[in-house]
């Protein structure tokens, strides 16, 4: 079975401060990892993904994440947040192709609130 | 390119009724996935279709079904609606096929279903 844990349900941060949103996963197979953002009343937008290769992944809007296999983590970071980053952030995993794990499992989400 | 479109955007039904939701993927995309989003259960995978074949499914009762047409458009159906089926239903499309083309999913705005 696969699961995703996002330890912080809510993260308040001041504008222009750095932020880290934590994500840990559990899986018995190798996985692909994703971060999505959801703005109010909208669908999800892919921020970044890790499929293989470099463990540091850069995404859109200045976000980056680092895959740590030994700690089964995929934390999302941004060095300086903006008001427009206020949204819900979801970490997700997907298991190996053509297996029963080949489906996207989402974490519960972290609500990021940027304070002016 | 036009994005993923979902119709209708809002829907109100009563218990016991059935409902059909529609999803039109991005032109050229052959894979469509469906997700249910609720405050209590979060984002949950329903099923994925590729080239008219169901590739994988989540842990939902048989009342939830779907299909994909030759033009890649997809529908999902929920029969005998229950109050707990009230949710935002999200559709996502991807080019599909081999690894690297499947993983980047583009989400539609969702259909918000309210069951009374």
Average pLDDT over residues B86-111: 86
Who among B43, B99, B110 is closest to A97 (CB)? B99
Q: Does B7 touch chain A (CB under 8 A)?
A: no
Q: Which residues of A touch B92 (CB under 8 A)?
A: 43-44
Buried b (16+ CB within 10 A) or exposed e, A68-101: eeeebbbbbebeebeeebbbbbbbbbbbeeeeeb
pLDDT computed for residue A43 by the predictor: 86
Q: Do the beta carbons of residue B2 and residue B104 sit within 8 Å?
A: no
pLDDT computed for residue A62 by the predictor: 96
- Asked if A44's CB is within 8 angstroms of B103's CB, the reply is no
pLDDT computed for residue B98 by the predictor: 67
Which residue in A has a C-alpha nearest to residue B112's C-alpha?
A41
Q: DSSP 3-state assignment of A5?
A: strand
Q: Does B105 touch chain A (CB under 8 A)?
A: yes
* Both tokens assigned to B49: 């279709």
Cα of A94 to nearest chain B Cα, Å? 8
Average pLDDT over residues A54-59: 93
Tell me: the pLDDT tens digits for A81-115? 999 999 999 999 988 777 777 889 999 999 999 99
pLDDT at A45 over 90: yes
pLDDT computed for residue A96 by the predictor: 75
Residue-wise DSSP of B21-78: EEEEPPTT--EEEEEEEETTTEEEEEEEEETTEEEEE-S--TTEEEEE-TTS-EEEEE
Which residues lie across from A114 on neighbouring strands?
Answer: A13
- Asked if A104's CB is within 8 angstroms of B45's CB, the reply is yes
Tell me: the pLDDT tens digits for B56-81? 899 999 999 999 999 999 999 999 99
pLDDT computed for residue B48 by the predictor: 92
Total count of residues recorded for chain A: 116
Who among A36, A43, A105 is closest to B110 (CB)? A43
- Asked if B48's CB is within 8 angstroms of A103's CB, the reply is yes
Who among B55, B92, B109 is closest to A42 (CB)? B109
Tell me: the pLDDT tens digits for B4-44? 999 999 999 999 999 999 999 999 999 999 999 999 899 99
pLDDT computed for residue B101 by the predictor: 64
pLDDT at B99 over 70: no
Q: Which residues of B touch A102 (CB under 8 A)?
A: 55-56
CA gap A63, A60 in Å, rounded: 6
């Amino acid at each position: 079975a696969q699961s995703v844990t996002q330890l912080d349900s809510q993260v308040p941060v001041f504008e222009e401060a750095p932020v880290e949103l934590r994500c840990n996963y559990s899986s018995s197979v190798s996985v692909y990892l994703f971060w999505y953002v959801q703005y109010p009343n909208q669908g999800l937008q892919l921020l970044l993904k890790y499929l293989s290769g470099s463990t540091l992944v850069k995404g859109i809007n200045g976000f980056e994440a680092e895959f740590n296999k030994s700690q089964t983590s995929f934390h999302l970071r941004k060095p300086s947040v903006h008001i427009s980053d206020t949204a819900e952030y979801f970490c997700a995993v997907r298991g190996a192709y053509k297996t029963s794990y080949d489906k996207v499992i989402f974490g519960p989400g972290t609500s990021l609130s940027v304070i002016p | 390119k036009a994005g993923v479109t979902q119709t209708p955007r809002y829907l109100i039904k009563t218990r016991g009724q059935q409902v059909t939701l529609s999803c039109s993927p991005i032109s050229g995309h052959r894979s469509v996935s469906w997700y249910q989003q609720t405050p209590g259960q979060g984002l949950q995978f329903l099923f994925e279709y590729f080239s008219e074949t169901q590739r994988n499914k989540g842990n939902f009762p048989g009342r939830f079904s779907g299909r994909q047409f030759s033009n890649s458009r997809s529908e999902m159906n929920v029969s005998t609606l229950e109050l707990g089926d009230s949710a935002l239903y999200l559709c996502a499309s991807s080019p599909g096929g081999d690894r690297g083309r499947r993983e980047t999913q583009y989400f539609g705005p969702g259909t918000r279903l309210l069951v009374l």
